[in-house]
Amino acid sequence: MSLNAKELGEVRSCLERLFDLTPGCVPDRHRRQIREFIDVGEYGLATDELAASFLESGQAIPHNVARLVEQLADTMGLTDSDEHAAVAALRAHVH
């Protein structure tokens, strides 16, 4: 799916908010990588890395973070059958 400029802005904004909300949930090594991906517009990679770091932490996903993940997945047109399996797995860990 190809995103228009408005959708890309929404994706970046959502990733920025997720990044800001999750300093205790995402280890520094992942945060550096996620920041780099966001800065160069690799939003799919940033999404995958963010989801993978949540799963690795084993922490419960707060509802406000879960809502942003759903918004991000919707804007990016991701479904559970997409290659972004980490996002589907993240959805399963919301508490």
**pLDDT score at 86:** 63
pLDDT surpassing 90 at residue 13: yes
Distance between CA atoms of residues 6 and 20, nearest Å: 21
Is the confidence at residue 43, as pLDDT, over 80? yes
Most confident of the ranges 28-32, 53-57, 67-71: 28-32
Question: Confidence class of residue 33 from pLDDT cuts 50, 70 and 90?
Answer: very high
Residue with tokens 């280890």: 27
Question: Given CA atoms 47, 60, 55, 88 in this order, what sign does their dihedral have?
Answer: negative
Give 69's pLDDT tier (boundaries 50, 70, 90): confident
Q: What DSSP string runs through 31-83? A: HHHHHHHHHTT-HHHHHHHHHHHHHHHTPPBPHHHHHHHHHHHHHHT--TTSS
DSSP annotation of 1: -
- Whole-model pTM: value is 0.78
